[in-house]
Structure 1
Amino acid sequence: MTKSKELFKAVKQKNLLRLNLQHFGDKTLYELKQNMTTVGQQLQKVENDLAAAAIDTGKTTEDIQALQDSKRDLKMRFDVIKDQHDQLEAEQQAKFAKQDDLKAITDPDKQKVEAKAELIRATMKNKPISDDIRQALGDDSTTGGGKFLPKTVSTEILSEPYVKNQLREISDFTQITNLEIPKIGFTLDNDDFIADKATARELKASGDVVTFGRHKFKVFAGISETVLMGSAGNLVSHVDRALSSGVAAKEKKVVFAETPKAGEEHMSFYSSQNAITVVQGDSLYKAIKNAIADLHEDYRENAKIVMRYQDYSDIVEVLANGNATLYSAQPEQVLGKPVVFSDSATKPIVGDFMYSHFNYDLGMLNERDKDVKTGIEQFVITAWMDHQIKLKSAFRIAEVTPTV
């Protein structure tokens, strides 16, 4: 056999051996060390036998050739196992070094940023999320990273979102699985303490407990490769902003929908299913004033007005009648109650928004996707949310009386 054929045969055998030993990638580092020791001992024995055979005149050339072939085979096996061992050892050392780096960060905010960045990168690479990352995010191994989104959508936003839900400042927000709460926070020994007759009728008709459901939606955060491989701060800032914007857009869409999707009718202030009382006036200013007055005092005390800024500007323009002083007045001074502006509020909503409640149910799922058209990777959050108007009696909708 020529040297070139022998070399080709050796390379072919080594490649086949690598394929046969691919299962070692699923073994632990300890098992690979054991395998490497076993094969190494066999190799050492054959090398000793070969050395002894070389000086033993009783051994034929065929005996020596067989020992050489056995040595070559064991050496290839040893090299393949060693490659697998060294690769796994390097990966584990890098993982431990990363974990040590995470634990070494003393600033809690910076540690969370680094942990979020590692969670995102692990998700995008379809790799498991380490317990150290979960611990830094206040999560555990049972939720699959479920606490990532609630922190993203609450108070830990590093940068301003593209979209805001103004109701976040005045409504209740929770994350409780299978949430059930009473519509009224306290009771007495009989129902006579409810002074508002509309509230009493509502409780009698619909019960005194609110049960929150689960309505699934997904939020996609597009991440370019340069952002993914960039600094932890920029990566987390980008993803946080995208996720919080998507969540805010979903929240606003369901609560202000004039034609809600099937199954989401109960979430909207404007739905016919909720049938919130409409109060009219010959102008929007009068309608809002009438709506405030129409509320029972239990709700009027903490009432706020959610309306479009354009509608408020029109009211001020009419009331000012050329007097510039009114333009500098606070909206609360003009309308008598605090005002929250949202362009989604096509008709002003007046009421006690303590009775508007968002709840996120179940743990959130982290996934990855890819937009084949643009090549942009997507960090995907799947969430379950519900919005309940706990007491419809606590709200009014202001509307200009239609002209005949």
Structure 2
Amino acid sequence: MKTLYELKQNLATIGQQLQKVESELAQKAVDPNATMEEIQALQQSKADLKMRFDVIKEQHDALEAEQKAKFEAKNDLKTISDPKQKIIKAKAELIRAVMNGKPVSTEVRQALGDNSTTGGDKFLPKTVSTSILVEPMVKNPLREISTVTQITNLEIPKLSFSLDDDDFIQDTETAKELAATGDVVTFGRNKFKVFAGISETVLNGSDANLVSYVENALQSGVAAKEKKVAFATTPKTGEEHMSFYSVGITEITKDTLYNAIKAAIADLHEDYRQNAKIVMRYQDYSDILETLANGNATLFTAQPEQILGKPVIFCDSAVYPIIGDFAYSHFNYDLAALYENQKDIKTGIEQFVVTAWFDHQIKLKSAFRIARVTTTP
């Protein structure tokens, strides 16, 4: 039995011969010097080639349909046993369905752990820590130390435990904050969009490459948005509560940044100081190290925690160092997410667009301090 490739080759060969005979027949038909025998011979040759072409095409189409069915069965979500491969396949189908303007199938939604009508609600935030295939170009270091959830209409207590009276709160700052703002945090829904430009080559490529490319772009967009709102010195209207610099966190000011950070750690109540971390720019840390070293090269080999007394997380967006227990920094994503495609008129690239809703709540301001340097007049 001939292979599909051989049948395609035969179709092409006979097709070319058929075109040649049809062209010769057309020329003979208008040539007054051509005999009827010559025209009839060409007509017979055309009929023979057409019959051969149809027979081979029938064989070709049947074999192609059979192989396509086998391929689709092999790649059907129901037949994939490997959970990781199943997720990759489902995500790839979700992306291609959106880009082609087609509905997302129930099988795809179920494979992504979602039965809602929007199709794959858990696609965006979940991949950050579990199934992302490649590292994103942009990262949000707060994700390593903050709380991240995905719950609709989330409300949580500011403290994770309570007693039968309020006297157990020995930090008077915390007690005053709870009295002033209440003991429950309610998360809102702040809309934002993330765009991933997809070329035809990527869209028609392998499932793994398509998913890794799109996830990389989406996760980078999410990380950039999270960092932007959390460290905004002049946040947008309605986003003020999401920034460490605009919620009224106590600022500790000293003559040097090193002294300000050390004083900020000491100023925290012991309940927060125990798990405190420092988020700051690497340039600021480098300046501190250079000043402290004063030519002593051995100090440069010490870990940042040995220098400042607490673990250090570097982030260039932290224009002023933030010190505190980042368990009280909480990102929450609403389960709802919308997927659509949009063409970039300037580049001609199709955009895979995710519209999502999230909120960043600083659950207790008293769990943090901001270190600043005294400004000289």
- TM-score > 0.5 by shorter chain: yes
1:247 Cα deviation after fit: 0.4
Residue 146 (structure 1) aligned to one of 109, 121, 142? 121
Residue 221 (structure 2) aligned to one of 239, 246, 264? 246
Contact 2:344–2:351 (8 Å) recurs in 1: yes
1:131 Cα deviation after fit: 1.7
Counterpart position of 1:165: 140
RMSD of aligned alpha carbons = 1.7
Task: Kindly tell me the number of residue pairs found equivalent between the two proteins.
Answer: 312
Distance 2:147 2:170 in 1: 24
What is the SS of the residue equivalent to 1:287?
helix
Q: Which moved more, 1:305-314 or 1:362-371?
A: 362-371
1:109 Cα deviation after fit: 1.0
Counterpart position of 1:136: 111
Contact 2:92–2:210 (8 Å) recurs in 1: yes
What is the SS of the residue equivalent to 1:364?
strand
Correspondence 1:195 to 2:195: no
Amino acid at match of 1:383: A
Correspondence 1:284 to 2:257: yes
Residue 269 (structure 1) aligned to one of 244, 248, 268? 244
Q: 1:254-265 to 2 correspondence within 5 Å?
A: 254-265=229-240
Correspondence 1:294 to 2:267: yes
Distance 1:135 1:118 in 2: 12
Contact 2:113–2:120 (8 Å) recurs in 1: no
1:100 Cα deviation after fit: 5.8
Counterpart position of 1:123: 98
Correspondence 1:205 to 2:180: yes
TM-score if structure 2 supplies the norm length?
0.80
Contact 1:145–1:363 (8 Å) recurs in 2: no
Counterpart position of 1:353: 326
1:130 Cα deviation after fit: 1.4
Could you list the runs of 5+ residues in structure 2 that have no partner in the other structure?
Answer: 1-64
- Percent identical among aligned pairs is 74
* CA offsets 1:107-145 (integer angstroms, 9 cap, x no match): 211221111111100110111111221222122144422
Counterpart position of 1:218: 193
What is the SS of the residue equivalent to 2:76?
helix
Counterpart position of 2:62: none
TM-score if structure 1 supplies the norm length?
0.75
Correspondence 1:101 to 2:81: no
Q: 1:386-397 to 2 correspondence within 5 Å?
A: 386-397=359-370
1:264 Cα deviation after fit: 0.3
Counterpart position of 2:21: none
Correspondence 1:338 to 2:311: yes
Q: 1:364-375 to 2 correspondence within 5 Å?
A: 364-375=337-348
What is the SS of the residue equivalent to 2:299?
helix
What is the SS of the residue equivalent to 2:104?
coil
Which of structures 1 and 2 has the bigger CA Rg? 1
1:366 Cα deviation after fit: 1.0
Distance 1:221 1:295 in 2: 42
Distance 1:141 1:307 in 2: 40
Distance 1:132 1:320 in 2: 61
Evaluate the alpha carbon distance shift between residue 96 and residue 134 of structure 1 in structure 2; reply closer, same or farther with a 3 A threshold.
farther
Distance 2:151 2:70 in 1: 33
